[in-house]
């Protein structure tokens, strides 16, 4: 799917590079490159020319892509060479279709946030040449707050990308240098998105999220739909169903327990919403996955 929009994706990718000055590439659901690698650091370029080290890079990428696919959220991690990278999933109608990989920076020494290390490996063993050590010293250093803001920015870029694919609005001649929908990291809607992601286990109310963003319910609903491309209710349910699919696949909990863990007070209502987004019931979804170990919905 993404390969059909390579030209458009590379234009957006260039915009992100201009804003963040980070390395970036977009891959499909199997990890194949959709776009060309952009702004890769000299350090990583040297790394990837070494056959052994290149395999470690590929292993990092695969594990990061898997984690972002499972959570449907940006995954910030430290690669085997000590660099900070971010894997941002692209979700189309609840299905994973690819990811944006961005990063290749060092975490500022003042940062205390513990970032997941993909591979526990001694960096010094990989600094095999003078050129590699020199390239390492030239890497930029970001604090965690900035890294997290970039993760949010790219996440909303992903929403923009998927929305254009779903709405079939993209044509090569119509792409403009205007990404008004992606820069939400400083928007009050960004607070709502973060709140939803962190509170899927609660019965989230429109009124409380609007209050969090210091807006009236009507104004918040209008802004949310304009920025995200979905109503608040649709977005919330879509995120819940994404998490429900993961829990149905990876846990042995009954449907009722999963429903309650995602803020649904009524199992029958959860089943109704799940069927709306996935076309089959939660029980059937779980049964098919256990039987075939694959789901195509």
CATH number, domain at 196?
Answer: 1.10.10.60
Question: Could you say which of 148, 174, 200 is where a domain stops?
Answer: 174
Instruction: Examine the domain organization and report whether 76 and 102 are in the same domain.
Output: yes
24: part of which helix (H) or strand (E)?
Answer: strand 23-28
In the three-class reduction of DSSP (H, G, I as helix; E, B as strand; rest coil), residue 208 is classed as helix
Pairing of strands 95-107, 23-28: antiparallel
Among 31-35, 129-133, 216-220, 279-283, the range scoring the smallest mean pLDDT is 129-133
pLDDT of residue 202: 86
Asked if residue 282 and residue 238 are part of one domain, the reply reads yes
- Considering the domain architecture, whether residues 213 and 130 belong to the same structural domain is answered as no
Reported as a single tens digit per residue, the pLDDT across 59-110 is 888 888 888 888 888 999 888 778 899 999 998 877 889 999 999 998 886 4
Q: Which residues contact 254 (CB under 8 A, 6 or more apart)?
A: none
The CATH number given to whatever domain includes residue 57 is 3.30.450
Domain count for the chain, please give it: 2
Which of 50-59, 115-124, 205-214, 255-264 bottoms out in mean pLDDT, i.e. has the lowest? Answer: 115-124
User: Do both 116 and 31 map to the same domain?
Assistant: yes
Q: Are residues 158 and 204 in the same domain?
A: no
pLDDT (tens digit per residue) in 242-280: 889 888 888 889 999 999 999 888 899 999 999 988 889
Q: Look up the domain containing 226 and give its range.
A: 188-292
Residue 50 has pLDDT above 80, yes or no: no
Residue 207 CB burial class (10 angstroms; 0-12, 13-18, ≥19): exposed
Q: Is the pLDDT of residue 214 over 60?
A: yes
When comparing pLDDT for 254 and 123, which is higher? 254
Q: 98 and 215 share a domain?
A: no
pLDDT at 111 over 70: no
Same domain, 59 and 132: yes
Among residues 174, 201, 228, the one where a domain terminates is 174
What is d(CA 155, CA 56) in angstroms, rounded to the nearest whole number? 26
227 within a domain of the structure (yes/no): yes
Do the beta carbons of residue 271 and residue 265 sit within 8 Å?
Answer: no
How high is the pLDDT of residue 114?
Answer: 53
223-236 exposure pattern, b = at least 16 Cβ within 10 A, e = fewer: bbeebbbeebeebb
What end-to-end distance do the CA atoms of the chain give, in Å? 15
Report the SS3 class of residue 98. Answer: strand
CA angle (83 as vertex; 81, 85 as ends), nearest 5 = 125
Return the higher-pLDDT residue of 227 and 267. 267
């Amino acid at each position: 799917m993404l390969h059909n929009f390579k030209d458009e994706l590379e234009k957006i990718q260039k915009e992100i590079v201009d804003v963040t000055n980070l390395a970036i590439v977009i891959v499909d659901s199997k990890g194949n490159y959709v776009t060309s690698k952009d702004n890769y650091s000299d350090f990583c370029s040297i790394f990837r020319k070494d056959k052994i080290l290149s395999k470690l890079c590929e292993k990092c990428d695969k594990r990061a892509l898997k984690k972002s696919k499972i959570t449907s959220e940006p995954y910030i991690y430290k690669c085997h060479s000590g660099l900070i990278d971010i894997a941002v999933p692209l979700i189309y109608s609840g299905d994973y279709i690819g990811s944006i990989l961005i990063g290749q920076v060092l975490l500022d020494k003042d940062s205390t946030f513990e970032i997941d290390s993909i591979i526990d490996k001694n960096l010094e063993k990989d600094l095999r040449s003078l050129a590699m050590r020199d390239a390492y010293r030239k890497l930029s250093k970001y604090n965690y707050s900035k890294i997290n803001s970039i993760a949010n920015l790219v996440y909303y870029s992903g929403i923009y990308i998927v929305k254009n694919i779903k709405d079939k609005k993209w044509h090569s001649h119509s792409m403009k240098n205007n990404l008004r929908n992606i820069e939400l990291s400083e928007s009050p809607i960004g607070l709502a998105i973060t709140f939803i992601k962190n509170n899927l286990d609660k019965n989230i109310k429109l009124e409380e999220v609007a209050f969090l963003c210091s807006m009236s319910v009507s104004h918040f609903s209008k802004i949310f739909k304009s920025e995200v491309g979905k109503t608040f209710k649709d977005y919330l349910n879509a995120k819940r169903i994404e998490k429900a699919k993961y829990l149905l696949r990876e846990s042995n909990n009954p449907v009722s327990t999963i429903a309650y863990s995602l803020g649904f007070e009524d199992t029958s209502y959860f089943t109704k919403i799940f069927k709306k987004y996935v076309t089959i019931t939660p029980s059937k979804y779980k049964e098919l996955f256990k039987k075939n170990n694959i789901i195509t919905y």
